[in-house]
A and B are shown apart, each in its own frame.
Chain A
Amino acid sequence: MPVWVDPEKCNGCHGASQPPCLRMCPGDLIVKDHTANKAYLKYPEDCWDCLPCVKVCPEEAIEFHLSYQFGGKGAKLIPHIHKSHDQISWELIDTQGNSETFTIRTKLMPVALDEKVEGGTQTLDFSI
């Protein structure tokens, strides 16, 4: 499981139909369970590990998990986007618990909580 939405932290972006995590995935792999008001990675085997979903979540609810075949658990990488200046800070925690922070220049690109979809959303049903 490459990225994982922590259901405790995800607030569904307050009823958003297309929350940031879902919109920013280049593979369109994240969906939202509207009943539970939570997002989740629906197609884990198709994930590229590219991390836009992790970076844009306002609740920092998405954890980056390294595939088990690559060494798996034990270390952590957490991006924090600064809200007011052009910076991103990455917190890296190794298997011994030592942490290191990298603060890197970027261009702040605010992401809206929701976005309207042309024609609305609906799933197709051909069963009839």
Chain B
Amino acid sequence: MERKIIETDILIIGGGTAGCMAAVEAKERYPQLNVTILEKAHIDRSGCLAGGMNAINAYLNKGETPESFVRYVRSDSCGLIREDLVKTMSELFEYCVKKVEKWGLPILCDDQGNYLPRGRWNIKINGESLKPILAKSARSAGAQVYNWINVTNLLMEGDRVAGAVGFSLRNGTFYVVKAKATIIATGGAAGLYRPNNPGDASHKTWYCPYNTGAGYAMGIRAGAEMTSFEMRYVALRTKDTIAPTGTIALGVKAPQVNAKGEQFMKTRYAHLGGDGAPTPYRTYGPLMEIKEGRGPVYLDTRGLTAEQVRELKAAYLDMYPSMVLYWAANNIDPSKEPIEVQTTEPYIVGGHCQAGYWVDGDRRTTVKGLYAAGDVAGGAPYKFVSGCWAEGVIAARAAGADIANMPPITVSEEQIAAEEARAFEAIKRPGKVRYPILPTDMEARLQKLLEQYAGGASTYYEMNEEMLQIARQRLAKFPADFNHLVANDLHQLMKVHEIMDRVDVAQTLVEHLLHRRETRWPSYQTRTDYPERDDVNWLKFVNSRRDPKTGNIQVLTRPYEQVIPGDRYKP
């Protein structure tokens, strides 16, 4: 295989929301450093932002402070977050948003020039081209961008990360990037559980289906400590199209109603804040209506004015155009009929929940030389685009400072050769194995297994010790089949790596689900054998580390630290 060796100072894996912002910050602060981005797609339209955005969901509107934000996020996440991380990211919202506005992002303003809020922590944008705006800024800042490079693993120099390797989807060149600091920004993981829609719509997921947990998996293999995988994200989304509902719920303040027209959040969940209850309960509430026979569930848009309906459609066109075509194709007029909603496949995403790398205040992971930002980083929920930017900034600042005066990296040829073999094995296999396994075959088996035994939609996301033990045992058999995976072209080779990554993520996930013996986030993490929240024993983080030598996953806990005083269950 052709090899391309690159030596750089800072390597960014994944040129998405956090990755592009990290690149700009690194080049602005440390112009003398080389910054390199490796991206599996093309940074102009990759990751979560490909279709556009209509709001910045984490912003301190007038009167709010980092402290009020931490209080809100803490109660929204049922009393357990890394308050230090949430605070430091919120301190940078303004810095990041102003920057992106300067680059050309249209932000909606009132007559006085103040940003228009959409809910307490959100502002409205016309973000159809947000991703190309970020990409252009990363390039102009001087970052070296390599598109269509699927990163397969980290490189190590002793116990520190020394860069990464991957292959080109265009020509199969093997990329070896040696870096003094590596920032991982590959987003979260979709496609672990059975998707909502079958057949040609199976990728019609809410979370970006091309973020397949690669960043988590690389860290898991390198022995990085991970946190809170058990806090999965189960979203409340529109029926079929799986579009975000904040646009409706916050944009036009539509309440949830059940089949009988009851505003059940207001009655059954009044003690938790009704329609403003913590996000897990806004998934759990409608789920229980359906389970107990009062479904379907809707967002009640009846009575909206024609003007409001137009606004709603315009907002979706900026982010999720398929919603608008769906209404037109099915003759749905949101002012006359309510919009049906459903719950999604569980995702692992550190930007909505807090599954991801265990990091310090500077977003250093527990492995030297490796930093994490965005949906791949743990401990700090409620990140959304602006929190991902903030983490990119923090990680870039720390990475640049840490590597001052560092000698060049050396990586053994033995390691590079082993990684090269691992990267391309599957494409050399067709015709050479008696029982070839396509990546889609393994995907189907994984998704079915997690769906049935690790709290998928068909069991209302519920699970118990016995189910999880089955999931653990059956998952343990997957890695032995990796050497049957076949790829007939480079695209399929990417899919082979995606499924191997998801298996690694799934194993860690199940260990976390087994470990937390309480129910802290109903629907995200519902244990039927431990149905109550238990602050006495479980007000702490469940973390894990897979030993790179033995492959054993060790689960440990880390204490929760309250930084902002006050009742943890009050916003």
Contacts and interface: CB of A to CB of B under 8 A. Distances in A.
A61 to B, nearest CB: 17
B267 interface: no
Given A77-B328, A118-B168, A121-B171, A107 B133 contact: yes
Contacts of A106: 106, 126, 128-129
B44 A23 contact: yes
B197 A69 contact: yes
B367 interface: no
B43 to A, nearest CB: 10
Given A23-B42, A67-B201, A48 B51 contact: yes
Contacts of A66: 322, 325-326, 329
A64 interface: yes
A64 B321 contact: yes
Contact of A102 (B104, B313, B494): B313
A48 B208 contact: yes
B323 to A, nearest CB: 10
Contacts of A24: 42, 44-45, 50
Given A104-B128, A109-B132, A121-B170, A27 B203 contact: yes
Interface residues of B, number: 65
B204 A48 contact: yes
A18 to B, nearest CB: 8
B105 A107 contact: yes
Interface in B403-433: 427-428, 430-431
Contacts of A74: 329
A4 to B, nearest CB: 12
B326 to A, nearest CB: 6
- The B contact surface, by secondary structure, is loop
Nearest to B51: A50
Given A28-B491, A123-B489, A67 B204 contact: yes
Contacts, number: 188
Interface residues of A, number: 60
A51 B146 CA distance: 23
B151 to A, nearest CB: 14
Given A66-B329, A67-B201, A90-B321, A25 B41 contact: yes
A28 to B, nearest CB: 6
Interface of A: 1-2, 23-28, 42-52, 55, 64, 66-77, 79, 86, 88, 90, 92-95, 100, 102, 104-109, 111, 117-124, 126-127
Given A28-B41, A69-B200, 16 more contacts: A43-B491, A48-B205, A70-B241, A71-B330, A75-B325, A75-B329, A77-B324, A77-B325, A92-B313, A94-B328, A106-B129, A117-B171, A118-B4, A119-B170, A119-B171, A126-B427
28 contacts: A1-B200, A26-B41, A27-B41, A27-B210, A28-B40, A43-B491, A48-B209, A49-B51, A55-B128, A64-B325, A66-B322, A67-B201, A70-B240, A70-B322, A70-B326, A71-B326, A77-B324, A90-B321, A93-B328, A94-B328, A102-B310, A107-B129, A108-B129, A111-B44, A117-B170, A118-B146, A118-B168, A120-B171
Interface of B: 2, 4, 40-42, 44-47, 50-51, 104-106, 126, 128-129, 132-133, 136, 146-148, 168-173, 197-205, 208-210, 240-241, 310, 313-314, 317-318, 321-322, 324-326, 328-331, 427-428, 430-431, 489-491, 494
